[in-house]
């Protein structure tokens, strides 16, 4: 399969094979080095026996096309796994697992899967085409679904799930309006078995303690990462779906996915009739029985639920579920910590240190009684991800029980509605405003930290800050370490005599009037996985602590929205100011001498670049033909963050390893001095800075700039986050 893309520099059309995505190449027109973008299938392409005719939509695990099965000339829907996911073995396994499960099901209300396959690296599922719309689309159009129709739809889905359970002991685990289709004849279909699992099945694809599903409809036990799921788990999600249908909104919303999940565990949901008086008392009682906090208080099986739906449709009140206890409340204190990994307990301790009354860092031991290190221990990728998931689940389970406000703490923020999207964990929600600051004591000094962070040990403000902000903080939920960058002025760009200088580096004065926190390291693969639920990176062999790459500017925006809490990409000015850390030279340790394009000996101590980025792990990039290398190597790639020397402000890998997306559109610099510039251009391309593991020495200068379309994913581009302070 061939595809065509444009050179980002000269816009020349380049035709290449689909299986060379991510490889380094060169534009035949302008000779500019470039990385071939991912090959995307489009209308007219043929995958196996299926020709793609028209794009129908896009979901969390791929695009869906209307297609034609050529051998029998019938319409089908073809779901295609995105190329970035195709590099992820877990994503491919889950995608094909969906096809295998769905192909076993033969029910008139479950979408039939005809085939699953792979063609030129593109994985696809071909299924029956339903000419209609999802309930999610219906809700967006009409607001609510009339109660009798909503009850009839939910009854039909319950019947389909009853069949799946009776025949295969199958749980769906991601029931929501977007996964229920209604065709033009009014027939109802259940679809998307991407998270479905047969009881007792061990696919090896789910980390212990992982949180899977869609936050707005997820059961409390899913929110806590429990592996003990049952029919009652799907009953809860179907109840949350019914709630949304008749009320016009999901039971819970919040400014982040984590806060929505916490509400499922702890908070009472608003009575349906309080939000829509047209909902009957019987329907409201039915929803209450379906959405009881404790699984044992919900319907014990699908037939029992179907019988109660029939009662409500007939105008009668539902019977109480046979397993219902006297109370549906879940006592947070009953949650056990036994079985958590040491890393998960360490994350819990970090959370406790952040929320407990101010205590000197030196007096806060870790879970095993030792003093907590400034950085988390390096552990295996799966072990760390499992620990992070387990810790997140435990924080949800404990809710506010650990929070005890000190006298110096700021008042809690008012309740804010924000995160209300219906995407699975890992899809974007809207950004949230910055949390208020808190006062804590570190090394005998009272310092300020953002409300969702805790101070790293020994991070009292240094003389250069003069602000009272802690020098270094750690984001409680993700472990992202951030360094305080004080306000100040500097000269942005490079002098005309600087070796390797490009014409777009015009010097000009810049003043930043507000300090900010900047990531101490590039966002790692583990952090991306924990927030987005997937790892798109090509260089997984580099380990979980290597920077995430194959992430577009658009992906980074989604990452920040999902993370919430005021995270964003830095502006170019913020990035260069922080990278320089008070210096004025080509690199932050002094001048740069460039020999034979890829030999800059001054870079060796501070950056992974084309001259020294040798790797031995599987999946390294062929670098045997690269010219003028400082150190001989045949394979190159990314490296774990924090291995090179930091700059004067404690920031690692600002040069090399991966380019870092900035917020700005690419454009010419101004000729006059500016204050708090929000961006240097308004064009469609977006800037990235810092050079990378596969670029020549000249690109790893502080002032160097590069750009690409915001949708492009490259194997040498990642990100580093900023957090504004109140």
CB atoms within 10 A of CB 6: 13
Place of tokens 């079985």: 339
Beta strands in 11-61 (DSSP E): 13-17, 24-26, 33-35, 46-47, 50-59
Whether 174 sits among the annotated catalytic residues: the reply is yes
The Cα–Cα gap between 553 and 556 comes to 5
Q: Are 18 and 120 in contact (CB under 8 A)?
A: yes
Say how far apart CA 691 and CA 500 lie, in whole Å.
13
Q: Could you count the other beta carbons within 10 Å of the beta carbon of residue 632?
A: 8
Contact 628, 599 (CB under 8 A): yes
CA max distance for the chain: 85
**Beta bridge pairs of residue 724:** 516
Q: Element (H or E) spanning 127, and its range?
A: strand 122-128
**Alpha-carbon distance 443 to 460, whole Å?**
6
CA nearest 26: which of 39, 38, 12? 12
64 SS3 class:
strand
Q: Which two structure tokens, joined as six digits, stand for 359?
A: 């205590």
Q: Would you call 618 helix, strand, or coil by DSSP?
A: coil
- Eight-class DSSP state of 224: T
- Cβ neighbors of 162 (< 8 A, separation 6 or more) are 301, 302, 303, 306
Chain centre to alpha carbon of residue 462: 33
Q: Which is the catalytic residue, given 142, 159, 174, 685?
A: 174
- Helix, strand, coil percentages, rounded to 5, for the chain: 25, 20, 50
Instruction: Describe the strand order of the beta sheet including 659-665 as a list of residue ranges.
Output: 705-708, 686-689, 659-665, 717-718
Query: Left if phi > 0, otherwise alpha if psi is -120 to 50, otherwise beta: which for 426?
Result: left
Q: Which of 75, 187, 92 is nearest to 126 (CA)?
A: 75
The H helix count followed by the E strand count for the chain is: 15, 32
The per-residue b/e assignment along 103-136, b for 16 or more CB within 10 angstroms, e otherwise, is bebebebbbebbbbeebeebbbbbbbbbebebbb
Helix (H) or strand (E) holding 246: helix 231-247
Q: Give dist(CA 286, CA 298) in Å, integer.
A: 10
- Look at the block and give the residue holding tokens 């699984």: 295
- Residue written as tokens 């499992």? 386
Residues noted as catalytic: 174
């Amino acid at each position: 399969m061939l595809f065509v893309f444009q050179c980002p520099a000269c816009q020349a059309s380049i035709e290449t094979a689909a299986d060379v995505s991510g490889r380094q190449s060169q534009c035949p027109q302008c000779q500019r080095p470039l990385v071939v973008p991912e090959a995307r299938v489009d209308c007219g392409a043929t995958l196996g026996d299926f020709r793609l005719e028209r794009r129908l939509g896009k979901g969390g695990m791929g695009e869906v096309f209307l297609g034609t099965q050529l051998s029998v000339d019938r319409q089908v829907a073809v779901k295609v796994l995105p190329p970035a996911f195709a590099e992820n073995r877990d994503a491919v396994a889950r995608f094909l697992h969906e096809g295998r499960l769905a192909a076993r099901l033969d029910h008139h209300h479950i979408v039939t899967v005809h085939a699953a396959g792979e063609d030129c690296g593109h994985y696809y599922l071909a299924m029956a085409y339903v000419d209609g719309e999802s309930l999610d689309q219906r809700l967006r159009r009409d607001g609510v679904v009339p109660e009798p129709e909503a009850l009839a739809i939910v009854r039909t889905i319950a019947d389909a799930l009853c069949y799946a359970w009776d025949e295969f002991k199958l749980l769906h685990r991601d029931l929501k309006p977007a996964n229920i289709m209604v065709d033009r004849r009014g027939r109802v279909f259940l679809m998307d078995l991407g998270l479905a699992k047969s009881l007792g099945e061990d696919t090896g694809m789910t980390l212990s303690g992982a949180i899977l599903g869609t936050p707005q409809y997820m059961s409390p036990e899913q929110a806590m990462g429990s592996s003990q799921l049952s029919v009652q788990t799907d009953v809860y999600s179907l109840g949350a779906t019914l709630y949304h249908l008749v009320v016009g909104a999901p039971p819970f919303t919040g400014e982040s996915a984590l806060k929505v999940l916490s509400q499922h565990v702890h908070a009472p949901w608003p009575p349906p009739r309080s939000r829509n008086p047209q909902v009957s008392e019987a329907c409201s009682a039915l929803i209450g029985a379906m959405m009881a906090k404790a699984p044992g208080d919900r319907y014990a099986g699908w037939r029992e639920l179907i019988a109660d739906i029939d009662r409500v449709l007939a105008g009668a009140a539902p019977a109480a579920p046979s397993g219902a206890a006297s109370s549906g409340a879940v006592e947070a204190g009953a949650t056990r910590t036994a079985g958590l990994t040491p890393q998960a307990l360490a994350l819990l301790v970090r959370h406790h240190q952040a929320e407990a009354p101010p205590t000197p860092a030196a007096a806060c031991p870790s879970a095993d009684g030792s003093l907590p290190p400034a950085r988390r221990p390096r552990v295996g990728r799966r072990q760390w991800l499992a620990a992070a998931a387990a810790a997140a689940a435990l924080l949800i389970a404990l809710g506010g029980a650990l929070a005890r406000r000190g006298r110096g703490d700021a008042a809690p923020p008012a309740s804010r509605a924000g995160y209300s999207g219906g995407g699975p964990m890992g899809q974007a929600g809207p950004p949230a405003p910055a949390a208020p600051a808190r006062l804590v004591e570190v090394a005998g000094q009272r310092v300020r930290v953002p409300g969702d962070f805790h101070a790293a040990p020994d991070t009292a403000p240094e003389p250069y800050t003069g602000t009272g902000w802690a020098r270094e903080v750690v984001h409680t939920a993700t472990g992202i370490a951030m360094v305080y960058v004080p306000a100040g002025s500097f000269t942005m760009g490079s002098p005309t005599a600087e070796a390797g200088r490009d014409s777009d580096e015009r010097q000009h004065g810049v003043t930043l009037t507000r300090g900010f926190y900047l990531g101490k390291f590039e966002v790692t693969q583990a952090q991306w996985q924990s927030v987005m639920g997937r790892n798109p990176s090509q260089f997984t062999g580099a380990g979980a602590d290597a920077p995430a790459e194959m992430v577009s500017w658009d992906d980074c925006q989604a990452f920040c929205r999902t993370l919430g809490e005021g995270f964003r990409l830095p502006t170019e000015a913020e990035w260069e100011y922080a990278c320089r850390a008070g210096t004025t030279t080509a690199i932050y340790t002094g001048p740069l001498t460039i020999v034979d394009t890829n030999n800059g000996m001054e870079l060796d101590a501070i950056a992974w670049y084309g001259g020294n980025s040798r790797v031995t792990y599987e999946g390294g990039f062929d670098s045997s033909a690269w010219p003028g290398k400082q150190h001989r190597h045949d394979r190159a790639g990314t490296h774990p963050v924090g291995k090179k020397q930091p700059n004067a402000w404690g920031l690692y890998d600002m040069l090399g390893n991966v380019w870092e997306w900035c917020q700005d559109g690419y454009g010419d610099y101004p000729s006059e001095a500016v204050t708090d510039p929000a961006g240097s251009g308004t064009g469609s391309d977006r800037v990235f800075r810092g050079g990378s593991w596969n670029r020549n020495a000249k690109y790893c200068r502080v002032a160097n700039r590069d750009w690409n379309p915001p949708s492009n994913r490259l194997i040498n581009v990642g990100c580093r986050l900023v957090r504004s302070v109140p």
